[in-house]
Amino acid sequence: MHLRMFELARDALNSDGYCVIGGYMSPVNDAYKKKANQSTYQRTLTVLSRVHNSVCETGLVSRESLKVMLLCGSDLLHSFCIPGFWILDQVNSICIDYGVVCIRREGQDVEKTISKDEILKQNQVFKLVVCSVFELYLTILRSNFRKTGEIFL
């Protein structure tokens, strides 16, 4: 499902005139430690900065024209509003310096989340994409059928 989020975000950004050159998936949950060979947690702001610097060092894109953005689901966006969960200065920097692309899941009120939080409300840098759970399930079903000839979730 996470890869599908990248496709949805790319399509939405391309339709708005952005030229998407890639995506970087960063494991942030403790359960990913073993899969990612990561001994410690990496802060989101640090990862965004490293990705930005790495792409700039390649020379493919100028520093001025590169826009690295955080892609997240509405659950992660909502966590920005939970007191003590995020460092507020870092949320502010993520919104201002990078930007956020939020994939809204069916039944979740992202606009309400944004309107209730001062940082999110002040930094209207969001590209909201509606993605239904049904669409994601169909993608999984099709993928499984292509691989195995069977339909399962």
Please indicate, yes or no, if residue 153 is contained in any of the structural domains.
Answer: no
Structure confidence at residue 151 (pLDDT): 62
Range of the domain at 141: 2-148
Task: Identify the CATH number of the domain in which residue 134 sits.
Answer: 3.40.50.620
Please indicate, yes or no, if residue 70 is contained in any of the structural domains.
Answer: yes
CA distances from 110 to 104, 114, 150 (A): 7, 6, 35
* Contacts with 16 (C-beta within 8 Å, 6 or more apart), sequence order: 127
CB 139 within 8 A of CB 2: no
Structure confidence at residue 68 (pLDDT): 92
Number of domains in the chain: 1
Which pTM does this prediction carry?
A: 0.74
* Contacts with 37 (C-beta within 8 Å, 6 or more apart), sequence order: none
Per-residue pLDDT of the chain (153 residues; tens, 9 = 90+): 677 788 888 888 888 888 888 888 876 655 555 556 666 667 899 999 999 999 999 988 888 889 899 998 888 888 998 999 999 999 999 998 998 888 877 677 888 888 888 888 887 655 555 555 555 566 666 676 777 776 655
User: Which helix (H) or strand (E) is 90 found in, with range?
Assistant: helix 88-93
Please indicate, yes or no, if residue 92 is contained in any of the structural domains.
Answer: yes
Q: What are the beta bridge partners of residue 101?
A: 71, 127
